[in-house]
């Protein structure tokens, strides 16, 4: 059974029909990339899954449970963690306090241990534990946002445009990290405009076009697909 | 380098005229004449005259400081101070001439010339940039007609009425008396005196720049202390009255005014003290910083103990009248601490805080009154009702929070503002009249009784406020450092991200509103018991604005700041009766100045000042990048 099953969801912004029946599946342990141009509905899909928006029609099943109308904050405890677009670190808190906030829903004693784990995964953050997050560079803030999401011990990690606004050198680093997180057994749903990078680390991918799934295939096949190459990879 | 640079002469001109405009404005709204009622030092200077002197003094200081920074010589600095003083007096002098019978024609002339001068100036500007000729002539005519209509009609009004008071009611004989330093009859002597005094004050301000730092600090300290004691003579006398015998008091004060000799003594003593502090203060702080941590803690502890002692003894130290003021301040501290939970901690701008205050006051009034509306025959005592008032206010906070949970920022502020108004209207309505008395309010609220003693004096009520404030302070500090506080912090920063952390934002906001309402209810109940009656017109939007202002002025999310804010905004107008007419004018001015010069408040919280610094740095970085 798929860990996440999105079943024909329709989401609206007021009267605007943003998602016109999007369906896909994410199996446990996979990295899935949702690619598409601006306004194709990638972020809306993610917001619908994470509960920030409710679908008017269709269902979202997580681990067999219907979470279509569940509130966003309750999903964190269920194991779905989201790294929002534009990172959204708490600029006035230190790195460590930000990570603490990530573990907000947890009450177990493993938090200290996981903090250490986060610093191992992101040594830069370890060096800057006491630094205020607002003074970190863009790349470091993205690292912090991901590390913070991991502090909730998610089974499914939703990443919204992790490469946005980062220098190309840093983008490589971010995708490396995503790959390593996946290797530790966290399932990842990645929304990305940078289709090239996303398809390199993904297992499978879905191409969204005006609120619908236009193409779905394995990442390797998508990279060879002529339409994808022309439209999203910039290859003629 | 004994030449004035262009930008320096410009700053003399603009700042001088600006302080002149300030002086004229304060006169025209009646502040100077009102403040003249209060003598600072007996037969020497009044508060109104002090205002006339402080403006050129401060401006002279600022201008001269700039000049010195650009390496100007001492003589030029002093003369620039004189120039600033003369410029400061200039608008007032012109107004004096306009106001006199002999020179009224000047006003008439000016008013009739203004449209032509303005139109010609504009046309010349147009000509310089090479505009079309027809456009230049057309705009000249248009401006003459437009401004002419206004200024000619003013000229006509003045001619018919024969004086300025029809338009500027506060340009009165009193005002003339103050600004001419008691030469209202001999106009030229008066103007000369004003120019002389103002120039002197400007020069004194410049001179301060030339004095080496240590004596300067001492002098300013001495001057500041003396003038403050003089200005608050009534307050100081009331405090001394409690601790000094009558004859000594008579030697220091003539009624509420500081006598000359004690003022001089005070100046000398405080200057010497200021000198000692300027000389050795740095060393003392250094010495304190070098102490071992345990010793330092001890010193801090002793300081804290003294402070606690003063807080406990306060009513005995300051007497009845001032205790009454202290209770009022305390009620607002209580509300400030409460509202700060919503605004400072959770970032929810609540403009309807008066709701909770009203609920608390009316609950206490209706439940304890022994008048016609209290049908419970005094079964309930103050102490029994306080928890009820608290709970009722919490319920009100909860009920009003539910519909606005989904709103953010400005929308939330507007909605809460509406709720505050609804409460005011309900209180005065006929519908609730049988219950809470409508416009007549509720009377005969008994004072709290504490183990058989009736707490009827402000000295006694003070302790109730003190205890309530301390409890609120404790709770709010604990909350801020708790998981709940973190939750609020996250919501304040970014609601969506807070949700992504797994925070139930709706619940957290409800909690913030509800807890914040609680102290408002207690404050209202204490207020009702203090006054003994409750009227609907005590519960206007101004309560909400007062509480919000004191938080902003003191420092958002800063507990000591809230206390300071309450003392400044609530206490000072009570102490300086002359202020209270201009209360909202001063509030407005203070808020604008604070927002420009010190947006983090008097005593900022660490988090907020960091935020503002970060904003400034980001702006500077962006400017550098461009």
Select from A82, A83, A88 the Cβ nearest to the Cβ of B494: A88
Looking at the fold, whether B328 and B184 belong to one and the same domain comes out as no
- Segment B227-240 shows an average pLDDT of 86
Q: Is the pLDDT of residue B39 over 90?
A: no
CB atoms within 10 A of CB B489: 21
Structure tokens at B624: 């550098």
CB atoms within 10 A of CB B558: 24
Q: What pLDDT, on the 0 to 100 scale, is given for residue A28?
A: 92
Question: Pairing relation of β-strands A31-35 and A187-192?
Answer: parallel
Whether B596 is in a domain gets the answer: no
Q: Is the pLDDT of residue B614 over 70?
A: no
Looking at the fold, whether B194 and B312 belong to one and the same domain comes out as no
Whether B165 is in a domain gets the answer: yes
Q: Is the pLDDT of residue B455 over 70?
A: yes
Is residue A65 helix, strand or coil?
strand
Under the banding of pLDDT at 50, 70 and 90, the label for residue B512 is very high
Is residue A23 helix, strand or coil?
strand
Is residue B452 helix, strand or coil?
coil
Last residue of a domain, one of B488, B521, B540: B540
Structure tokens at B455: 């707490």
CB contact under 8 A, B493 and A77: no
Structure tokens at B224: 């500041």
d(CA B237, CA B258): 9
CB contact under 8 A, A152 and B497: no
| Chain A, window 134-193: residues with a beta carbon less than 8 angstroms from a chain B beta carbon | 134-135, 148-149, 152
Select from A88, A132, A135 the Cβ nearest to the Cβ of B497: A88
- The set of residues, in sequence order, having a beta carbon less than 8 Å from that of B255 and lying 6+ positions away, is none
Which chain A residue has the Cα nearest residue B503?
A73
Q: What pLDDT, on the 0 to 100 scale, is given for residue B522?
A: 95
- Segment B597-606 shows an average pLDDT of 81
Structure tokens at B483: 């998981």
Select from A72, A132, A134 the Cβ nearest to the Cβ of B499: A72
Structure tokens at B354: 């008066």
Q: What pLDDT, on the 0 to 100 scale, is given for residue B603?
A: 83
Going by C-alpha positions, the residue among B522, B544, B547 that lies closest to residue B361 is: B522
- Segment B216-226 shows an average pLDDT of 91
Q: What pLDDT, on the 0 to 100 scale, is given for residue A25?
A: 92
Q: Does A6 touch chain B (CB under 8 A)?
A: no
Q: Is the pLDDT of residue B575 over 90?
A: no
Q: Is the pLDDT of residue B252 over 90?
A: no
Reported as a single tens digit per residue, the pLDDT across B469-506 is: 999 999 989 998 888 998 998 998 888 888 888 899 89
Q: What pLDDT, on the 0 to 100 scale, is given for residue B329?
A: 95
Q: What pLDDT, on the 0 to 100 scale, is given for residue B597?
A: 84
Reported as a single tens digit per residue, the pLDDT across A119-161 is: 988 888 999 988 988 898 888 898 899 999 999 999 999 999 8
CB contact under 8 A, A104 and B614: no
CB contact under 8 A, A73 and B505: yes
Whether B232 is in a domain gets the answer: no
Looking at the fold, whether B194 and B343 belong to one and the same domain comes out as no
Q: pTM higher than 0.95 for the full model?
A: no
d(CA B572, CA B583): 10
Mean residue pLDDT across chain B: 87
CB atoms within 10 A of CB A181: 21
- The set of residues, in sequence order, having a beta carbon less than 8 Å from that of B28 and lying 6+ positions away, is B95, B168, B170, B171
- The set of residues, in sequence order, having a beta carbon less than 8 Å from that of B257 and lying 6+ positions away, is B39, B40, B41, B42, B230, B233
Reported as a single tens digit per residue, the pLDDT across A164-177 is: 878 888 888 889 88
Question: Pairing relation of β-strands B453-454 and B449-450?
Answer: antiparallel
Taking the CA of residue A139 and the nearest CA in chain B, the distance in Å comes to: 17
CB contact under 8 A, A101 and B501: yes
What's the per-residue H, E or C state across B457-491? CHHHHHHHHHHHHHHHHHHHHHHHCCHHHHHHHHH
Across A206-220, B1-15, B311-325, least confident range: B1-15
Total number of domains constituting chain B: 2
Residue B5 backbone dihedrals phi, psi, to 5 degrees:
-80, 155
Select from A81, A92, A105 the Cβ nearest to the Cβ of B611: A92
CB contact under 8 A, A71 and B504: yes
Looking at the fold, whether B28 and B173 belong to one and the same domain comes out as yes
Q: Residue A63, exposed/middle/buried by CB under 10 A (0-12, 13-18, 19+)? A: middle
Q: Is the pLDDT of residue B544 over 50?
A: yes
Whether B319 is in a domain gets the answer: yes
Identify the top-confidence range among B7-16, B467-476, B582-591, B607-616. B467-476
d(CA B223, CA B213): 15
Which chain B residue has the Cα nearest residue A151?
B501
Under the banding of pLDDT at 50, 70 and 90, the label for residue B1 is very low
Q: Is the pLDDT of residue B621 over 80?
A: no
Which chain B residue has the Cα nearest residue A93?
B607
Question: Pairing relation of β-strands B257-258 and B253-254?
Answer: antiparallel
- The set of residues, in sequence order, having a beta carbon less than 8 Å from that of B616 and lying 6+ positions away, is none
Which chain A residue has the Cα nearest residue B613?
A92
- Chain B residues with CB inside 8 Å of A160's CB? none
Select from B496, B504, B607 the Cβ nearest to the Cβ of A84: B496
Q: Is the pLDDT of residue B237 over 60?
A: yes
The neighbouring-strand residues paired with A188 are A31, A157
Q: CB–CB of B187/B96 below 8 Å?
A: yes
Which chain A residue has the Cα nearest residue B505?
A73
Last residue of a domain, one of B540, B557, B585: B540
Whether B616 is in a domain gets the answer: no
| Structural domain harbouring B184 | 6-210
Going by C-alpha positions, the residue among B565, B584, B567 that lies closest to residue B575 is: B567
- Chain B residues with CB inside 8 Å of A73's CB? 499, 501-505
Instruction: Report the complex ipTM.
Output: 0.83
Whether B289 is in a domain gets the answer: no
Helix H or strand E segment including A128 = none
- Segment B77-89 shows an average pLDDT of 93
Whether B131 is in a domain gets the answer: yes
Whether B620 is in a domain gets the answer: no
Measured at the alpha carbon of residue B420, what is the angle toward residues B418 and B426, in degrees to the nearest 5?
Answer: 100
Q: Which residue ranges form the domains of chain A, and what is each CATH number?
A: 4-233 (3.40.50.300)
Q: What is the largest CA-CA distance in chain A?
A: 54
CB contact under 8 A, A152 and B501: yes
Structure tokens at A93: 């808190």
Select from A77, A83, A93 the Cβ nearest to the Cβ of B502: A77
Q: Does A93 touch chain B (CB under 8 A)?
A: yes
Angstrom CA distances, B485 to A6, B347, B399, B453, B496, stand at 36, 11, 22, 40, 17
Last residue of a domain, one of B499, B516, B540: B540
- The set of residues, in sequence order, having a beta carbon less than 8 Å from that of B353 and lying 6+ positions away, is B335, B338, B339, B416, B420, B516, B520, B543, B544, B547, B548
Give the dihedral of Cα atoms B136, B139, B141, B146; nearest 10 deg. -160
Q: What pLDDT, on the 0 to 100 scale, is given for residue B626?
A: 47
Residue B370 backbone dihedrals phi, psi, to 5 degrees:
-105, 10
Q: What pLDDT, on the 0 to 100 scale, is given for residue A84?
A: 85
Q: Does B500 touch chain A (CB under 8 A)?
A: yes
- The set of residues, in sequence order, having a beta carbon less than 8 Å from that of A170 and lying 6+ positions away, is A138, A139, A142
CB contact under 8 A, B499 and A73: yes
């Amino acid at each position: 059974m798929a860990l996440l099953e999105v079943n024909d969801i329709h989401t609206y912004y007021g009267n605007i029909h943003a998602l016109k029946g999007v369906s896909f599946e994410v199996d446990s342990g996979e990295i899935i990339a949702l690619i598409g141009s601006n306004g194709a509905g990638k972020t809306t899909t993610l917001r619908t899954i994470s509960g920030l928006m409710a679908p008017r029609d269709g269902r979202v099943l997580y681990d067999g449970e219907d979470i279509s109308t569940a509130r966003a904050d309750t999903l964190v405890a269920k194991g779905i963690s989201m790294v929002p677009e534009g990172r959204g670190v708490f600029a006035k808190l230190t790195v460590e306090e930000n990570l603490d906030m990530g573990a907000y829903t947890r009450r177990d004693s493993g938090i200290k241990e996981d903090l250490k784990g986060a610093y191992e995964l992101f040594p830069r953050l370890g060096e800057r534990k006491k630094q205020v997050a607002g003074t970190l560079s863009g790349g470091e803030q993205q690292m912090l946002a991901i590390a913070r999401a991991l502090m909730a011990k998610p089974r499914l990690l939703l990443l919204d445009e992790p490469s946005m606004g980062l220098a190309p050198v840093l983008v490589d680093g971010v995708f490396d990290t995503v790959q390593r997180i996946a290797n530790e057994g966290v399932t990842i749903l990645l929304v990305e405009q940078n289709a090239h990078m996303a398809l390199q680390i993904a297992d499978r991918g879905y191409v969204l076009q005006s609120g619908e799934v236009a193409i779905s295939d394995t990442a390797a096949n998508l990279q060879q697909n002529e339409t994808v190459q022309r439209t999203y990879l910039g290859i003629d | 380098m004994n030449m004035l640079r262009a930008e320096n002469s410009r700053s003399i001109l603009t700042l001088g005229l600006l302080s002149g405009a300030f002086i004229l404005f304060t006169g025209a709204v009646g502040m100077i004449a009102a403040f003249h009622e209060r003598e600072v030092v007996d037969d020497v200077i009044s508060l109104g005259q002090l205002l006339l002197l402080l403006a050129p003094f401060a401006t002279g200081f600022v201008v001269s400081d700039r000049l010195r920074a650009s390496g100007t010589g001492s003589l030029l600095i002093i003369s620039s101070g004189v120039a600033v003083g003369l410029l400061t007096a200039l608008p007032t002098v012109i107004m004096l001439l306009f106001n006199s019978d002999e020179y009224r024609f000047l006003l008439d002339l000016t008013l009739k010339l203004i449209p032509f001068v303005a139109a010609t100036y504009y046309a010349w500007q147009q000509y310089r940039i090479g505009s079309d000729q027809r456009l230049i002539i057309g705009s000249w005519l248009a401006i003459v007609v437009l401004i002419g209509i206004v200024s000619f009609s003013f000229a006509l009004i003045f001619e018919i009425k024969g004086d300025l008071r029809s338009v500027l009611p506060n340009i009165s004989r009193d005002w003339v008396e103050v600004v001419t330093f008691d030469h209202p009859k001999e106009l030229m002597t008066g103007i000369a005196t004003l120019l002389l005094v103002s120039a002197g004050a400007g020069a004194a301000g410049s001179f301060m720049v030339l004095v080496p730092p240590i004596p300067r600090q001492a002098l300013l300290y001495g001057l500041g202390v003396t003038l403050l004691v003089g200005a608050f003579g009534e307050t100081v006398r009331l405090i001394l009255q409690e601790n000094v015998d009558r004859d000594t008091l008579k030697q220091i004060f003539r009624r509420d005014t500081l006598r000359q000799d004690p003022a001089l003594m005070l100046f000398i003593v405080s200057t010497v003290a200021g000198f000692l502090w300027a000389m050795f203060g740095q060393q003392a702080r250094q010495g304190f910083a070098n102490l071992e941590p345990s010793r330092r803690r001890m010193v801090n502890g002793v300081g804290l103990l003294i402070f606690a002692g003063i807080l406990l003894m306060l009513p005995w130290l300051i007497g009845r009248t001032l205790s009454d003021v202290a209770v009022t301040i305390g009620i607002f501290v209580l509300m400030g601490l409460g509202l700060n939970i919503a605004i400072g901690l959770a970032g929810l701008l609540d403009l309807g805080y008066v709701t909770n205050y009203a609920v608390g006051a009316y609950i206490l009034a209706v439940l304890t009154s022994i008048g016609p509306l209290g049908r419970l025959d005094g079964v309930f005592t103050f102490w029994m009702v306080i928890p009820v008032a608290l709970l009722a206010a919490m319920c009100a906070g909860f009920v009003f929070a539910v519909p606005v949970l989904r709103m953010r920022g400005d929308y939330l502020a507007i909605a809460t503002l509406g709720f505050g108004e609804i409460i005011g209207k309900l209180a005065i309505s006929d519908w609730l009249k049988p219950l809470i008395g409508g416009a007549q309010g509720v009377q005969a609220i008994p004072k709290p009784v504490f183990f058989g003693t009736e707490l009827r004096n402000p000295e006694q009520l003070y302790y109730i406020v003190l205890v309530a404030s301390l409890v609120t302070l404790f709770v709010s500090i604990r909350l801020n450092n708790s998981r709940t506080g973190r939750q609020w912090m996250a919501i304040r920063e970014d609601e969506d991200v807070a949700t992504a952390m797994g925070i139930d934002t709706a619940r957290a906001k409800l909690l913030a509103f509800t807890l914040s309402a609680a102290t408002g209810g207690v404050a209202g109940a204490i207020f009702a018991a203090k006054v003994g009656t409750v009227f609907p017109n005590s519960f206007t939007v101004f309560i909400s604005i007062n509480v919000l202002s004191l938080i902003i002025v003191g420092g958002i999310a800063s507990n000591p700041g809230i206390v300071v804010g309450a003392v400044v905004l609530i206490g000072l107008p009570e102490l300086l009766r002359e202020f209270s007419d201009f209360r909202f004018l001063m509030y407005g001015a203070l808020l604008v100045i604070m927002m420009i010069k010190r947006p983090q408040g008097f005593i900022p919280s660490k988090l907020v000042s960091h935020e503002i610094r970060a904003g400034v740095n980001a702006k500077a970085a962006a400017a550098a990048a461009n």
